[in-house]
Chain A
């Protein structure tokens, strides 16, 4: 495949691939930047965690995808570790976001003032009452 591209027979395909590589890497770094701005700008732990655990995940994933495409298309090297990296990131980052949130809530970090409702507080109160009755 590589030699065909080099001879320029399929130069259109090569241009499309180049476009996708650039697109993935640029969009990924943009998402990471916006995630960072979100972490600075948003008011409390929970909303910051939204930005950090979602935008950064997709950003790093698309940077990895762009890197994978680059090495595959231009060097002919299929790097399976990048694919594994994408899958591991996809599986672990929501869990870590959840754990940070849960730890913050259980150690009593307050929600933002403008928060509307809090069902978990009522639930925790109910559980506490029940255990004190028993």
Chain B
């Protein structure tokens, strides 16, 4: 992905040199033409066309903000309830993610989601131990995390 962006910037500079005009407008024009060229030649790169990846990253950020607001509403509900009847627990969740940055991202996403907080990551980076504020069904919790975040992170790194 970094290679494609660098290539695009080089193409934009090439456009500026061809036009002999060195202002930001012609850089932007060259960047757009370069984007077109890279899109046409996308089958020669190893990774996907990088705008797709950028798009899935933006989607991930929106998921993050949505979950942050939902988690705060959940916390407010628990704190302001007259009786403390939640059922805290620590449960294990197996993850398919392998790279370090993916696991870091996943655990900070989990920490900011409704009522879950990562306590530990196992030695072999395969299991996350999560403290849940109010546990219902462990399976349901794990599935919801897997479907939303793990899929989004895999989408970004594909």
Once A111-B88, A114-B87 are accepted as A-B contacts, the answer to whether A51 and B75 lie under 8 Å apart by CB is: yes
| A contact face: mostly helix, strand, loop, or mixed | helix
List residues of chain A with CB within 8 A of the CB of B10: none
Interface assignment of A112: CB less than 8 Å from any CB of chain B? yes
Q: A97 contacts B89, CB within 8 Å?
A: no
* Chain B 76-115 interface mask (CB, 8 Å, partner A; 1/0): 1011100010111111100000000000000110011001
Q: A99 → chain B, closest Cβ, in Å?
A: 10
Q: A119 contacts B111, CB within 8 Å?
A: no
Q: A102 contacts B76, CB within 8 Å?
A: no
Q: A50 contacts B117, CB within 8 Å?
A: yes
Bound CA span A57–B115, Å: 14
Interface assignment of B26: CB less than 8 Å from any CB of chain A? no
Q: B117 contacts A31, CB within 8 Å?
A: no
Known: A102-B119, A111-B90, A114-B87. 13 other contacts (CB 8 A): A34-B80, A37-B79, A41-B84, A54-B75, A57-B112, A97-B117, A101-B117, A101-B118, A101-B131, A105-B119, A116-B88, A117-B90, A120-B90
Neighbour of B129 across the interface among A34, A51, A115, A119, CB < 8 A: A119
Q: A58 contacts B107, CB within 8 Å?
A: no
10 nearest A-B residue pairs (beta carbon): A94-B111, A38-B79, A119-B92, A116-B89, A94-B108, A120-B129, A117-B89, A58-B72, A115-B88, A118-B90
